[in-house]
Amino acid sequence: MHRGPVMVLAEHGRITDVDLTGANPPEGVAVTDLGDATLLPGLVDAHSHLVFDPNGNAERQMVDDDDATVLARMREHAARALHAGITTVRDLGDRGYLALRLREEYEEHAAAEADAAVDAGPDGLLGPQIVAAGPPLTGSGGHCWYLGGVADGTEAAVAAVRERARHGVDLVKIMATGGMSTTGSNPGGSQYSPAELRAVTDAAHRLGLPVTAHAHGAAGIADAVAAGADGIEHCTFMTPSGVKADLATIDAMAAAGTYVGATVVKPREGMPAEVLQTIEPYWENQALMWRRGVRVVCCTDAGINAYKPHDVLPLDVAYFAGQVGTNSSALASVTSLAAESCGLGASKGRVARGHDADLLAVRGDPVHDLGALRQVCAVYRAGRVVRTAFR
C-alpha cells in the first residue's frame, strides 16, 4: 500500500493515470479532494444472492412473490451493497434470470447516461457490476430447488448449461451437495455423480463459461474438483464423522488454481448445534487451504438470513482476517483476488491505469484496522459519485 499523496485520473469510467509524486492535477479537470482518506478499489462480494431478503423466508418468498416484487427488492439490495463500497456483486443464484435482467437494466442506463453523474438513489439506476449465474443447477427437491434450476441426470444438466448460456450468464453454478438453508436437504450429501459433474463442467467450458460448485460434503468437493470446477463455494469438508480436511483435494485445488469462496459464518446465540459445531473446524480448514496455496476468497452469501444483509462484506472481512491470513491478504481477498475469481481481474480490484474507476475512500488505515472499511468517505462506480461524506 502506498502511503502519501495520490492522484487518480479517470475518464469515461476508466482510470487513465495514477500519480504518486504529489504532482498537481492537469488544468481543466474537475477535482475532488478526499483529504487524508485511504483510497481503495471498490470491494467485490464474490458470493451473494440479490433475490433473497435477509429478513424474510427465502423459500416462501421465491415460491410466493412475483417477478416485479422480487426485482424491486433486488434493486434495493444492490443499492445497499453499492452504498457500502461493494462495487461488484457476483450473484450465485437467482430465480428466472432476474439478476441478468437487473444487470441489463444497469448497463442500459449507463450507456444512455454515459456522460452524466448519476446518484445512486431509490430508482436503482446506478448499481454495482453484477456477475450472474442465473438459477443454480440442483436435483429434484435439492438445495435451493425453489429457484427453478432443477436438472436431474446428465442430459438434463447439460441442457440446463446450454439454456444458461443462451440467457447470457457469466458462469454456471451447480449444487454439488445439499445445503443448510433448504428444508430436508443434507448438506454433506452429494447431489450429482462424478460423471454428471464432469459433463456439466465440460459443457460449460466448451461454451466459455466457468463453473463454481456449492459443496459442503468432502466427497462432493473432491468430485467437483476432479471434474474441473473452477471454484468451490463454502468448501466445508463435511464427512459422516465430522468436518475433516482432505489434504489430497486441497493440494489438487492449489495445483489447479481453484478458487474457494469462503462464505463468512460466525457462531451466534440460537444457532443450531449441528451448524455451530462445524464453525471452528470450517475456519481451521480455510486457514489450512490458504497456507497450502489455495485461492481463498472472502465472501458473504448475502441475503440468506438476518445476519447477512447485502452490505455485510466490510464487516465480514474483519472476521475473515482473524481466521485466515492477515489484514493485507484479507483486503486482497475482497478486491483483486475476488475480482479474479469473477473473471474481472483485468478491470476490477485494483487502483491502476486501465482499470474501472470503481473506488472506495475510507477514514483510517484498513491495513492496521479493518474497521476503517465501515468509515466510508466516498464511493465511486465507473467514475460516478455514489456516496460522499456529505451525503
Backbone phi, psi, residue 125, to 5°: -80, -25
pLDDT, residue 122, reads 39
Question: Does residue 111 register a pLDDT over 80?
Answer: no
Give the three cell numbers for residue 81: 451493497
pLDDT, residue 92, reads 99
By percentage, how much of the chain surpasses pLDDT 70? 96
Residue 386 CB contacts under 8 Å (≥ 6 apart), including other chains: 82, 83, 119, 120, 126, 379, 380
Query: Which has the minimum average pLDDT: 120-134, 170-184, 359-373, 375-389?
Result: 120-134
Give the three cell numbers for residue 156: 438434463
pLDDT, residue 236, reads 98
**Every domain of the chain and the residues it spans:** 41-338
pLDDT, residue 123, reads 44
Q: Which tens digit of pLDDT belongs to each residue from 54-81?
A: 987 888 889 999 999 999 999 999 999 9
Question: Does residue 222 register a pLDDT over 50?
Answer: yes
Distance of CA 143 to the CA centre of its chain: 19
pLDDT, residue 211, reads 99
Give the three cell numbers for residue 107: 448497463
Question: What's the CA gap between 260 and 263, in Å, rounded?
Answer: 9
Confidence band of 120 (pLDDT split at 50, 70, 90): very low
- Mean pLDDT value of segment 207-218: 99
pLDDT, residue 116, reads 54
Confidence band of 181 (pLDDT split at 50, 70, 90): confident
Let me know the angle formed at the C-alpha of 118 by 11 and 364, rounded to the nearest 5 degrees.
Answer: 75
Q: Which tens digit of pLDDT belongs to each residue from 305-353?
A: 999 999 999 999 999 999 999 999 999 999 999 999 999 999 999 999 9
Q: Which residues pair with 243 in a beta bridge?
A: 238
Mean pLDDT, all residues of the chain: 94
Question: What's the CA gap between 299 and 317, in Å, rounded?
Answer: 8
Tell which CATH architecture fits domain 41-338: Alpha-Beta Barrel (3.20)
DSSP-assigned letters across all residues of 283-344: HHHHHHHHHTT-EEEEE--BTSSTT--TT-HHHHHHHHHHHSS-HHHHHHHTTHHHHHHTT-
Question: What's the CA gap between 81 and 88, in Å, rounded?
Answer: 9
Grid-cell match 457469466, residue found: 170
Question: Does residue 360 register a pLDDT over 80?
Answer: yes
Nearest to 88 by CA among 275, 304, 286, 350: 350
Confidence band of 295 (pLDDT split at 50, 70, 90): very high
Query: Which has the minimum average pLDDT: 65-79, 109-123, 180-194?
Result: 109-123
Question: Does residue 389 register a pLDDT over 90?
Answer: no
Let me know the angle formed at the C-alpha of 267 by 74 and 315, rounded to the nearest 5 degrees.
Answer: 50
Q: Which tens digit of pLDDT belongs to each residue from 157-168?
A: 999 999 999 999
By percentage, how much of the chain surpasses pLDDT 90? 86
